[in-house]
Amino acid sequence: MKYLIIFKGMKKILILSLGFFMSCSHSDFKKLDVSKVNPLNELNLEAISKVLDSVSDSQPINILNWKDYEYAPQVAFKMAHSESMIYLKFKVIEEHIVAKRTETNSSTHRDSCVEFFIDPDNSGGYYNFEFNCIGTTHLAYGPDRSNRTFIDKDLIESQLFIASTLGSEPFEEKSGKFEWELVAAIPSSLFVYHKDLNFNGLNSKANLYKCADDSQKPHYLSWSKVVTNRPDFHRPEFFGSVHFKNN
């Protein structure tokens, strides 16, 4: 009977594994090569946007993983690096925008929000950068949803550059048709659990998202496919592969 129980357990695991691979084709796990650029002399929205437009193709954040949330704004990102800095640009077109949170490490995902989750060195822990549409930032580190440690808010506010075409003042939800862009310059110093991090040649795992929990049309989109029963971005097993080029 002991062996029968073990066998049944093994069979159940096998069935789950087959179901997992049937749900996720090879193409669902995205791959991205991130171009290297010279460090920018000045960090502002225009400069970051210009350099990203010159070296990076737009990557869509357009996968609808959960049938209960069918609204899909148009979302794309561009990314580059300069060894000690990651440059990001998000472009969004959507019907509703909301930005109530202004406090660093508040619940920015409830607003119109774009997100960048990254495990820099495939060590199992990842950083979740969550930016609402006016640049308020939520940043923590850990191996999963339940075990996270906030990055010090003073460090975030002093080290991170972020700017949005919507400005930085909070507002209640607006409806219509809105197009906005957000850029960020993320220094390696914010990766506090990875001392002396250099992006040159680094192979990482990451996913990028768009959400808005408190919008009239809540939505949850991802760059790399997520296979769960309900919305959950804290699933590093579904991160795509990101290679930071060294030339």
Over the stretch 125-176, which tens digit does the pLDDT of each residue have?
999 999 999 999 999 999 999 999 999 999 999 999 999 999 999 999 999 9
pLDDT band for position 29 (cuts 50, 70, 90)? confident
Question: What integer pLDDT is reported at residue 21 of this predicted model?
Answer: 41
> In this structure, are strands 240-244 and 31-36 parallel, antiparallel, or unpaired?
parallel
Decide if pLDDT at 24 tops 60: no
What pTM, to 2 d.p., does this model score?
0.90
Judge whether 226 and 207 are in contact, CB under 8 Å: yes
| Rg value, the chain, Cα | 19
Two structure tokens written together for 4: 């029968």
State the chain's mean pLDDT as an integer.
Answer: 91
The C-alpha atoms of residue 118 and residue 116 are separated, in whole angstroms, by 6
Nearest by Cα to 61 from 117, 111, 19:
117
Decide if pLDDT at 200 tops 60: yes
The C-alpha atoms of residue 222 and residue 232 are separated, in whole angstroms, by 10
pLDDT band for position 213 (cuts 50, 70, 90)? very high
Q: What is the mean pLDDT of residues 187-211?
A: 98
Decide if pLDDT at 189 tops 50: yes
